[in-house]
């Protein structure tokens, strides 16, 4: 075990200050962090890689920040990886709980906003969403709709995309 620790110390520069890490040590740290993040994300849920809600985006930002610190040596290497793993585990648990609780789901992930119903634009909803008419028109065009009158329902979803159900 002592030999393994010495090897890890030499290869990863575990007790070195960030300025003392050499090219090989930073490169090896990057490879290990990359592989660890792949495993950690696979442990998490696939949906946080798709259309991310704020709940998912925050995790991605924090994981990126923590991972960078492990690579550059600005934080203890293995402890930093453990912190990233714990955050992904927390995300998984909160996702599991919010799956069965609409209240927690709305609190953590938000909710959709109805923008158009039966061809009628809800200007208050558009205003609350901080969307201009041009923003909505662009999203509708991307959904293949060129006329609000032909929409049964359009919603600003939790992930920021506008979903459209034609009449």
Distance CA 47, CA 75 (A): 29
Please tell me the pTM assigned to this model: 0.71
**For 156, phi and psi rounded to 5 degrees?**
-85, 110
Per-residue pLDDT tens, the chain, 167 aa: give them.
788 888 888 888 988 898 898 999 999 999 999 999 888 877 766 555 556 777 888 888 899 999 999 999 999 999 999 999 999 999 889 989 999 999 998 888 888 999 999 999 999 999 999 999 999 999 999 999 988 998 999 999 988 889 999 98
First to last CA, the chain: 68
CA atoms of 58 and 88, how far apart (whole Å)? 11
Q: Which domains does the chain have, with CATH numbers?
A: 2-107 (no CATH), 112-166 (3.30.240.20)
């Amino acid at each position: 075990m002592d030999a393994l620790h010495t090897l890890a110390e030499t290869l990863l520069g575990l007790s070195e200050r960030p300025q003392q890490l050499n090219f090989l040590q930073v490169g090896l740290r990057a490879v290990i962090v990359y592989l660890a993040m792949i495993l950690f994300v696979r442990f998490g849920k696939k949906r946080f890689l798709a259309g991310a809600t704020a709940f998912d985006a925050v995790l991605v930002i924090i994981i990126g920040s923590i991972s960078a610190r492990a690579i550059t040596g600005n934080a203890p290497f293995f402890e930093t990886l453990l912190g990233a793993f714990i955050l992904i585990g927390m995300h998984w648990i909160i996702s599991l709980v919010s799956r069965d609780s609409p209240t927690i789901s709305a609190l953590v992930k938000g909710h959709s906003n109805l923008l158009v119903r039966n061809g009628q634009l809800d200007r208050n909803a558009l205003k609350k969403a901080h969307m201009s008419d041009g923003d909505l028109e662009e999203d509708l065009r991307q959904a293949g709709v060129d006329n609000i009158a032909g929409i049964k329902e359009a919603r600003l979803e939790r992930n920021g995309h506008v979903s459209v159900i034609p009449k």
